[in-house]
Amino acid sequence: MVFSSITFIYYFLPIVLILYFIIPNKLKNLCLLLSSLFFYFYGEGKFLWILLLSCIMNFTYGLLIEKYRDKKLSKIVFSIAIISNIGLLMYFKYLNFFIDNLNNIFNVNLKLLNVVMPIGISFFTFQTLSYVVDVYNNKVKASHNLIDFSTYVSSFFQLISGPIVRYRDIEGELKERKYSFEQFGSGVFRVIIGLSKKVLIANELGALASSLGGLPDKAVLTYLLIGVSETLQLYFDFSGYSDIAIGLAKMFGFHFPENFNYPFIAKSITDFWRRWHISLSTFFRDYVYIPLGGNKKGILKHIRNIFIVWFLTGFWHGASWNFILWGVYFGILLIIEKYFLKSFLDKHRIFSHVYTLILVFISFIIFNSDSIQEIFVFLKSIFGFNHLPFSNFSTMYYFRSYFIILICSCILATPVIKLVKKVFEHKMLKPIGSVLEVGGSILLLVVVTSFLIDASFNPFLYFRF
């Protein structure tokens, strides 16, 4: 089941909301847990046991680590917890990748295993890892209620594609939550914004990229448009999902951390990663980079730490060399920025924005390619080394057809709507702003619904991670 579906919006969500708000407070977490397990079972029935195993396993680890704190057994349990969580992820997500590479390197013919990756395993594994580490480091008390803990791990708001929520962020709300019409309305508005990003923008950009990719005769502009549309599609798809997750959490009384902050207005690659997939970058910062020593143990170890973090960031996204290359690419750029470009970029703001956009654009060409060879073909074509014409009739046809959606997506990737909303926060304009917000939300939901009824292209891209 996906958020951007008639089944979720008009059947699953209303039923869960009604049940949730009519039952006593002490049963609300159980309601959320059962609803979340059904949500996962609906799409990934045969892998539900893995989610349940992860919940029970890490709940037990937390209790044992806390019970035997400051004793050798606590460290043993902690080590087992790390190995078993990472082992689960490695088996389902990366085992065939390793076998395939062993075959290529040693010219052997080991048989690939029939292993299918459960949806969302990267996200809920990182959540349980953060919990175990925080309990071990005494930053959070272990949960003594399996239903509460399982609700944290498996809540349908963020189970499939994040954001990565830490137990300490919502520990208090798992036990007691406050509700208000204002908060519920804010959550509904955020959900509709997320659905609109996904259905009205990301899906259309995906259709454009797919159509251009299928052209028999391509031009430089073809590749440029594919690169731009795929980059913006990924942003609106994933930030839209995060908006829906954050909005749903608000409706049910939770406050999840933000996951995107207009990354395309970044003034450096460092700044970009403070704004893009914030929950992932802060996870690697807090649980890998800082424990390795960060920048406090000399230049060589600092460079080593950056490479480790960005290799892992790339590898986390998928069992493919293009993702590893993507991560290493960012690692190299961040090292260059930190040691050579920082002061220059701070002084030349216009250049820094253009520089960042170009490098991010290239990064997502790497990210979206299916092979290393495809990356080089794409880059050579964009920079004119494949002797292609700049444009052709077919490309211009699609460019004209999708011109409005391209312009709108570029504008909406900036804080322009946020600035307009601020204007209407003035006490004289607030009533008008409220009416526009409610009316606009209803209109957007109607349009989104009409698109979904006729949808033929509606994937969530981050489901594959």
Euclidean distance between CA atoms 437 and 433, whole angstroms: 6
Euclidean distance between CA atoms 295 and 445, whole angstroms: 47
Question: Which of 339, 364, 187 has its CA nearest to residue 277?
Answer: 364
Which three-class secondary structure state does DSSP give residue 197?
A: helix
Given 144, 317, 348, 387, which residue is catalytic? 317
Q: Give residue 142's region: left, alpha or beta (phi > 0; psi -120 to 50).
A: beta
Question: Which of 333, 380, 339 has its CA nearest to residue 359?
Answer: 333
**Residue-wise DSSP of 273-297:** HHHSSHHHHHHHIIIIIHHHTTTSS
The answer to whether 426 is a known catalytic residue is no
Euclidean distance between CA atoms 252 and 13, whole angstroms: 11
Euclidean distance between CA atoms 417 and 381, whole angstroms: 35
**Residue-wise DSSP of 398-438:** HHHHTHHHHHHHHHHTTTHHHHHHHHTTSTTTHHHHHHHHH
CA–chain centroid gap for 434, Å, is: 30
Q: Give residue 384's region: left, alpha or beta (phi > 0; psi -120 to 50).
A: left
Which three-class secondary structure state does DSSP give residue 131?
A: helix
Q: Please give the positions annotated as active site.
A: 317
